[in-house]
Chain A
């Protein structure tokens, strides 16, 4: 029997506010344990949480970017459970009245572009961090992360393959980073994902029993975990067994999902409205004000690049991967007027240099203006493409503008036809055998003469000019 996977994803994204969601402690990652803590986030009795306005604004931004309906009135609820990373004994979250519902985004699906629905986006607070002692039955608690703002983005079960899931996640990630509301750092846990996956016989309407996958900390792992889980469920079903509704952890080292059965209790969170936090009322004026601050989103940008710059879709995809990279590219194009050449340099040399150094485009030592100037110098024939490679490397190393590098390295291209013709004449005189063979019909020797001229001029001669002159002088 052929089975169809049904996948829904839950993304938790940390918002890039400076302070926590309900208190004024810093959200900065990497501080000493329990130093970004106060009576509110430590869960002391008698304190009152006060909502950070920016958290609401950031969530509205994400809601707008994902075409959600914004609930003009929404509110917080308490999700009750005991765990040592949760000092109050409840997490403040949104339950019955989330900020946003019923949206969706377009992703490149298995066959073509498709819309993945978004069920809801709600605000909540993050929990603390536990470090387990390897040798002693104790855990150590760091509450710096407690109260860091999160949004949870829940997708509809519209995803039909592991690849589609990865594509959806990349889109969500990209939008969050473009909006500058989440740093998207998966290693530091700023962007986390859980997946619900089930199989059903193809053509069947109702869903099968689902498993929930956790602990996948990269796009690749999400895809691998889903691929594994789809296969596992398929074997179970084909053998006549039943999939159990349970939580399974992805084990990266072994490449398998492992059941958490037995350790899990039935969840009963007893949600109720949090009396400490008043209702959030969002006016149309507020939404419009925020809409006015929205940047161009990745998909729109990609389409504009295709239209305005006439570059291939692949180039547009790479160049719009981040806002900073897209801005850099656009600045280079604006200054040199050559979209495809600029794309080749940015995607080729610039990204390679940056990747080797694990540097961000924002820290690129070559300003966009320098790269544009270098492209113009190639176009003008002042330097060859080959020289430009050397120039770009030196510019990257030193941050100097192209003219300075060219002068310092003596990299001026010989474009004086008279001088070059003299060089060619000398070479012809010095290689009478090859010349005779060439004239006797051995066309391949043309390359030999090009090489000789390049050698004699230390690569400084304009290749086009060499070709033209040789074609004229050799016969």
Chain B
């Protein structure tokens, strides 16, 4: 097994997802299959190959430091389910 049911539960919790027992079994099995498939990559000999973070050779895509108009407050809040005044409102969180 590449992944345990407990690990799936942990990842689900981090993603704030709740699953039923059956779903947990199904996802554990599916994730396991995916990871096993990805495992095949380990058979490739990568000796002397530098690690890379991207598949593209493109680099340094920059913009200049110039301010452009932002959205208005109304536009920014347009999709908010519970705006109050000029703010997004969310359930109280205190770290």
Contact residues of A with B, CB < 8 Å?
A: 17-19, 24-26, 32-39, 42, 50-56, 73, 75, 77, 80, 82-84, 96-97, 130-133, 136-143, 260, 263, 268, 270, 273, 275, 277-281
Nearest first, the 3 A-B pairs at minimum CB distance are A273-B53, A24-B68, A140-B87
Any chain A CB within 8 A of the CB of B63?
yes
Task: Select the stretch in B19-27, B29-37, B72-80 that faces chain A.
Answer: B72-80
What's the tally of chain B residues with a CB closer than 8 Å to chain A? Answer: 36
Which of A19, A53, A75, A137 touches B67 (beta carbons < 8 Å)?
A19
Nearest CB in chain A: distance from B80 CB, A? 9
Q: List 11 A-B contacts (CB under 8 A).
A: A18-B66, A34-B87, A35-B86, A37-B71, A80-B14, A140-B84, A141-B90, A268-B10, A277-B61, A278-B54, A278-B60
Task: Report yes or no: A33 in contact with B87, Cβ–Cβ below 8 A.
Answer: yes
A280 CA to B64 CA in the complex, in Å?
Answer: 15
Task: Report yes or no: A25 in contact with B87, Cβ–Cβ below 8 A.
Answer: no
Task: Report yes or no: A279 in contact with B59, Cβ–Cβ below 8 A.
Answer: yes
Task: Report yes or no: A278 in contact with B71, Cβ–Cβ below 8 A.
Answer: no
Which of B10, B62, B66, B94 touches A56 (beta carbons < 8 Å)?
B62
**A278 in contact with B88 given A51-B63, A84-B93, A270-B14 (CB within 8 Å):** no
Residues of A within 8 A of B39 (CB): none
A83 CA to B90 CA in the complex, in Å?
Answer: 10
A270 CA to B62 CA in the complex, in Å?
Answer: 26
Which of A24, A32, A35, A280 touches B63 (beta carbons < 8 Å)?
A24
Which of B62, B84, B91 touches A137 (beta carbons < 8 Å)?
B91
Which of B58, B62, B90 touches A51 (beta carbons < 8 Å)?
B62
Task: Report yes or no: B53 in contact with A268, Cβ–Cβ below 8 A.
Answer: no
Any chain A CB within 8 A of the CB of B40?
no
Residues of A within 8 A of B63 (CB): 24, 50-53
Task: Return the chain A residue nearest B88 by Cβ.
Answer: A141
Residues of A within 8 A of B77 (CB): 34
